[in-house]
């Protein structure tokens, strides 16, 4: 093993032990079947944070949860790479190589669950048998800033084939939704991006379609970084957030579509504005669609690396619960 690999491995092992000192474990005999870390949203940065203790005497350390990182250097990394936390924990405790992510929209704690555990939420909601699934795709070209020539991406991609607004297909260049031979295009999930980022032509198509479906709601001046904003006092409310049209990410089949409701599509901005929470990523981004953290909040997402699939629940608000209500055991 190369010296650099030895250094990364030793760092990963040390940090792994530190994480375990701050987590909850569901016992199965003498070994845990799951490792659980609390995750909180930082209001100032929009990042999702977890924590652990290190050094002697121990001091608290805060880490950013990053779905796409390749090692455990700074972030609580949950990527596909060899030294990422899901692989390290699965190898150490011999449980399934998978994890579930449930982010909150407030400072209350959500959760990331590594291994095998029931997805139980108060009051009496169990999502373990009701997730929809779509394949996790591998981008054969690394999307990291620094990588080797043959490195694959450690990030998580899904196969979005179309986008709908209020049930109507948005006219867009579908070729941008596929991953090309250079690793460009496609759709990935990112906890580091606070909001969903769309290639310029896709962004225009989605915002134009959404504006057409909401023509009856008074508009207000755009609030950066958003382009489409409304008078929040004129928007009704529902169990799943503001009463606005759905945005639908169509996956391999209609039955596996990820339907996004107002709580995950709209963002409250200054001056009482309510904005469509998608950002223009430019005309030539590396990835065409980046599903950001806001769109994932109060949705349970299961990253099953053994079966290469993503499980998703749709909004937990429909079931009158949130990610803060997760209960282990």
Check which CATH number belongs to the domain holding 61 and give it: 2.40.70.10
Decide if 306 is inside a domain: no
Decide if 54 is inside a domain: yes
Element (H, E) at 26: strand 24-28
209 and 251 housed in the same domain = yes
138 and 60 housed in the same domain = no
Structural domain total, the chain? 2
Residue where a domain terminates, one of 74, 97, 126: 126
Q: Could you read off the pLDDT tens digit of each residue along the chain, which spans 329 residues?
A: 333 222 233 333 334 444 443 344 444 456 667 788 899 999 888 899 987 666 678 777 778 888 876 544 444 586 555 546 677 777 777 777 889 999 998 888 999 988 888 899 988 899 988 899 999 999 998 765 544 456 688 899 999 999 999 999 999 999 999 999 999 999 999 999 999 999 999 999 999 999 999 999 999 999 999 999 999 999 999 999 999 999 999 997 666 899 999 999 999 999 999 999 999 999 999 999 999 999 999 999 999 988 999 999 999 999 999 999 998 75
Residue where a domain terminates, one of 98, 126, 154: 126
- The tokens of 122 are what? 């108060």
Domain span at 291: 132-301
97 and 168 housed in the same domain = no
Decide if 73 is inside a domain: yes
Decide if 315 is inside a domain: no
28 preceded by a cis bond (ω within 30 of 0): no
The distance of Cα 11 from the centroid of its chain, to the nearest Å, equals 25
Rounded alpha-carbon distances, angstroms, from residue 210 to 139, 249, 292: 30, 14, 18
Decide if 154 is inside a domain: yes
Residue where a domain terminates, one of 68, 99, 126: 126
**Nearest one of 84, 108, 132 to 301, comparing CA atoms:** 132
96 and 225 housed in the same domain = no
């Amino acid at each position: 093993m190369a010296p650099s690999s030895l250094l990364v491995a030793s760092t990963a092992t040390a940090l792994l032990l530190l994480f375990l000192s701050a987590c909850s474990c569901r016992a199965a005999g003498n070994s845990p079947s799951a490792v659980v870390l609390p995750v909180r949203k930082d209001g100032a940065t929009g990042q999702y944070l977890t924590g652990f203790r290190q050094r002697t005497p121990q001091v608290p350390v805060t880490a950013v949860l990053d779905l796409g990182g390749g090692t455990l250097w700074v972030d609580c990394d949950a990527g596909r790479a060899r030294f990422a936390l899901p692989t390290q924990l699965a190898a150490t405790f011999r449980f399934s190589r998978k994890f579930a992510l449930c982010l909150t929209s407030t400072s209350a704690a959500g959760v990331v669950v590594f291994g095998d555990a029931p997805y139980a939420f108060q009051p009496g909601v169990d999502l373990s048998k009701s997730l929809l699934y779509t394949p996790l795709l591998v981008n054969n070209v690394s999307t990291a800033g620094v990588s080797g020539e043959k490195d694959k991406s450690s990030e998580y991609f899904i196969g979005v084939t179309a986008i709908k607004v209020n049930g109507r297909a948005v006219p867009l260049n579908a070729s941008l939704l596929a991953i090309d031979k250079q690793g460009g295009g496609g759709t990935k999930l990112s906890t580091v991006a606070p909001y969903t980022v769309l290639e310029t032509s896709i962004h225009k198509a989605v915002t134009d379609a959404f504006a057409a479906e909401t023509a009856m709601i008074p508009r207000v001046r755009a609030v950066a970084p958003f382009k489409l904003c409304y008078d929040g006092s004129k928007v009704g409310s529902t169990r799943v957030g503001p009463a606005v049209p759905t945005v639908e990410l169509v996956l391999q089949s209609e039955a596996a579509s990820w339907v996004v409701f107002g709580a995950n599509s709209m963002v409250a901005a200054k001056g009482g504005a309510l904005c469509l929470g998608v950002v223009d990523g430019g005309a030539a981004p590396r990835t065409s669609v980046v599903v950001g953290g806001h769109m994932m909040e109060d949705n349970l997402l299961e990253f099953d690396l053994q079966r290469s699939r993503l499980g998703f629940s749709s909004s937990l608000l429909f079931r009158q619960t949130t990610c803060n209500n997760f209960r282990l055991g």
